[in-house]
Amino acid sequence: MSELTDTLSDNQLAEQAALGLDGVIDRTDPGHIKHLYGLVVQYEDIDAGGIVYHATYLNFAERARSALLRASRFDVHYWLSEERQGFVISHIETDYLSPARLHNRLIVETSCLQLGGASALLQQTVMSFDRGHIFARVMVKAAWVDIEFGPRKFPEPLQAVLRSFQPSS
């Protein structure tokens, strides 16, 4: 055991392991705040040729969107269970630019290009960890719905979150 694991309780170890799971909000450019979500390509993500399956990029993008909401302290669970409202993806486009490979360290960068009353257009870029190479670009139109009654306006707390990820003009 390492010195660190010798001194931490099981709960503290779990907390240390979970650090960073929600990515980070990149505020280095105040005119364009982005969410950055890191991951490593695992064996389950690749095909027999050793490259990431095309559909796996959509999984990476979905995880990054979920992490953005957690990092922004928006309680999706509350809205789903108590208000019976949540996101649906109404349109998605992906440009596959080059293949990622086993053990590549990736960043998914997310920003909000357009924000309407009940839908948003998000851009997600899957790139190398050093942000020098782009593997895929995903454009996602997400809508907010009431599970029983259909489209609804974004709740104000969610509008504020999405607005914060829009580039300023």
Q: pLDDT tens across 111-148, in order?
A: 999 999 999 999 999 999 877 899 999 999 999 999 99
- Spans of all domains in the chain: 23-164
- Select which of 47, 75, 95, 146 is catalytic: 47
Q: What is the second-level CATH architecture of the domain 23-164? A: Roll (3.10)
With bands split at pLDDT 50, 70 and 90, how would you rate the model's confidence at 19? low
**What is d(CA 71, CA 79) in angstroms, rounded to the nearest whole number?**
16
* Per-position DSSP letters for 14-38, written without gaps between them: HHHHHTTTT-EEE-SSTTS-EEEEE
Q: Any idea what the Cα angle at residue 42 is, between residues 37 and 109, rounded to 5°?
A: 20
What pLDDT is recorded for position 129?
86
What global pTM score does this model have?
0.88
Q: pLDDT tens across 28-86, in order?
A: 998 999 999 999 999 999 999 999 999 999 999 999 999 999 999 999 999 999 999 99
With bands split at pLDDT 50, 70 and 90, how would you rate the model's confidence at 152? very high
User: Is 10 annotated as catalytic?
Assistant: no
User: What single-letter amino acid sits at 167?
Assistant: P
**What is d(CA 125, CA 138) in angstroms, rounded to the nearest whole number?**
6
